[in-house]
Chains A and B, each alone.
Chain A
Amino acid sequence: MSTSTDETAQSAADPAGIAGAAIRAGDRTFLGLSRGAGILVLAVMAAIAAFLIWQAIPSLQANSANFLTEQAWLPDQTPSVFGIAVLAVGTLVTAVIAMLIAVPIGFGIALFIAYYARPKFGKALGFIVDLLAAVPSIIFGLWGLYNFMPAVTSFAQWLSEYLGWIPIFANDKQLWTKSLLMAGLVLAIMVLPTISAISREVFLQVPRTHIEASLALGATRWEMIKMAVFPFSRPGMISAAMLGLGRALGETIAVALILSAVFEVNLHITEPGGNSFAANIALKWGEAGEVGRSALIASGLVLFLITLAVNMIARWIIARRKEFSGAS
């Protein structure tokens, strides 16, 4: 459909055929190349889904347990037994912890940069926050394992001591490291730049007139933010949070280094244990046999579909907002 529109446009631009055939051939080659590169993106996305499904099937057929509810991960044993219950719970819990911390702080940073800091200072701060995004996840893992975790153990102890009556904070093992909480905290730091960078862009798009109008009516700065900024940027803030969520769900190496991989659903988030889709693939890959790898691919497929859904919803919200607000 779009092929025909493009070509009509081409001939419309040159109705009298003044340009020679060679020139049009050049245009056509170039259009073909560049469109091909664009279509490649669609093809790759489709191919990722297709190949993962294809390679996941053998293990799913061999699996003698329920793929969704089984807690053990023994795909290479006969009969093969594995399920994603532990992975799904671990991924979800760490992502929720990360979101609970990173979303308010990320918005706070974005507000600070957009409305509290002086413009030049704000720009420098934005650059610094972007730097945080450039730190590779393996370094977050290294730092998390050897520096961050020992330093925040006392926080986990405090949680279990004073809030232990809330079941998720209870700690019967008297061990506080390598837990879902630790992984969630490190993930929070890792997704912070994503959330703050996108929401900063959104905040900066709020029309100046809205802001000045509310300030002129006597609103305090916070009232201005609440009444002029938030209503305008709500869709952008939601999608910033969802893109951060996508990153938290798919993070591999940092989580793999921090969690002590245990195949047991344990909702006591301060105790060692837990696992996530991505971390499990990285940790189990080397030792996995044929069915084992296929099982890991199956879990990767689930991860891919979840992040795909999260990202598509986030992007859809942004795209829809663009149409309505006319912001570019």
Chain B
Amino acid sequence: MSVVEVQEVEAAGHLTGRRLPKWGTPTLAGGALLIGLLVQLTGWTVIGLAPGVVAAVVFLLGQAIASLVVEGRRHAKDRIATTLIYATFVVALTPLLWILLTVLAKGLSVFNWTFFTSTMRNVSPRQPGGGILHAFLGTLEQVGIATLVSVPVGILAAIYLVEFGKGRLKFWISFFVDVMTGVPSIVAGLFIYTALILTGILQQSGFAAALALCILMIPVVIRSSEEMLKIVPNDLREAALALGVPKWKVILRIVVPTAISGLITGAMLAVARVAGETAPLLLTTFLAQDINLNAFNGSQTSLPTFIWDQISRGTAASVNRAWGAALALILFILIIYAAARILAARFAPKSR
């Protein structure tokens, strides 16, 4: 701003330069909507763009030009950026609501008592009916085993990183934990297949599937547990050590109990993350149409693989079942997720 401009602004009695009036943006938005409506009604199109897109472009350009004339280039840029950033948010919310509402609507239409209490035994793909009981039990069992293996390993590794780790070993473990979170899920399945099934140690079974889930779950548990252990105040550790308590007892009696709710929350979020995994299960188990509670022998279906199976059958009835199972899976994950969040909010250790 030049000296003359500053004087002009001061002479007008304002500290800021000229701004668009408050009613400017709503008016422009209204105008853009009207033009959009016009496009919609007349069917007259600009290079085939949809009316909504035309309205958005008109609004963006109109506001930029108005701002450029009244406020100057810097504010015009700021307004364009603001509009675009608000727009990204709308763009992000759209698919989420779209997915959730679709799954809700289509899933609810097949939900009934038998859907939860029966299996696919003796139900042909074209026939409506049947249920997800076997798949739900399979998910519970596979995810349960994965949790039992991953949570102790993950928390122990996190304890190492926070309480003991030093130097290069700590750096490399920490680094590869992060890298491991990025291992594609299908690769986890391939690994269990090559390392345990091809070598004859395991059959294709629910347990093999659970181990594949562990590969995906362990790094998540380590990372979240590490964060939780880090916010346990050091005073507590020092006070206990000063009283002569051995380090392992400090960890087990002081550090872990203080962070326990956070550790549980982290574990539950990891469960929510792997409960929907499909790809590794396809390589490590066969699909069953009936209940099989034995994770070590025979085929075992879970909710994600049930959905995959029903989609691949492609009949109207089976796709409906896929939507029903999708809703059941989302509800299952959301319940775990919400429980974890509530637990975290209520019992989170107070960081200072």
Chain A interface residues toward B at CB < 8 A: 1-2, 5-6, 9-10, 13, 18-19, 23-24, 26-27, 29-31, 33-42, 44-45, 47-48, 51-52, 54-55, 104-105, 107-109, 111-112, 116, 125, 127-129, 131-132, 134-143, 145-148, 154, 158, 161-162, 189, 192, 196, 220-223, 225, 243, 246-247, 249-253, 257, 278, 281-282, 285-286, 296-297, 300, 303-304, 307-308, 310-312, 314-316, 318-319
Contacts and interface: CB of A to CB of B under 8 A. Distances in A.
Nearest to A50: B195
B186 A315 contact: no
B248 A30 contact: yes
B319 A146 contact: yes
Contacts of A104: 88
B198 A315 contact: no
A40 B247 contact: no
B244 A38 contact: no
11 contacts: A27-B247, A33-B156, A41-B173, A42-B172, A55-B194, A127-B341, A135-B96, A136-B276, A137-B277, A223-B77, A282-B186
Of residues B164, B167, B330, B337, which shows the largest number of chain A Cβ atoms within 10 Å of its Cβ?
B164
Contacts of A196: 92
Contacts of B179: 45, 308, 311-312, 315
Given A108-B85, A252-B186, A192 B92 contact: yes
B49 to A, nearest CB: 8
B89 interface: yes
Contacts of B194: 51-52, 54-55, 297
B180 A41 contact: yes
B32 interface: no
Nearest to A242: B182
Main secondary structure of the interface of B (DSSP, over half): helix
Given A37-B156, A38-B173, A303 B187 contact: yes
Of residues A5, A9, A19, A222, which shows the largest number of chain B Cβ atoms within 10 Å of its Cβ?
A222
A123 to B, nearest CB: 11
Contacts of A285: 282-283
B218 interface: yes
Main secondary structure of the interface of A (DSSP, over half): helix
Interface in B79-121: 81-82, 84-89, 91-93, 95-96, 98-99, 102-103
A35 B160 contact: yes
Contacts of A148: 95, 98
A25 B103 CA distance: 55
Given A104-B88, A223-B74, A135 B330 contact: yes
A250 B187 contact: yes
B191 A51 contact: yes
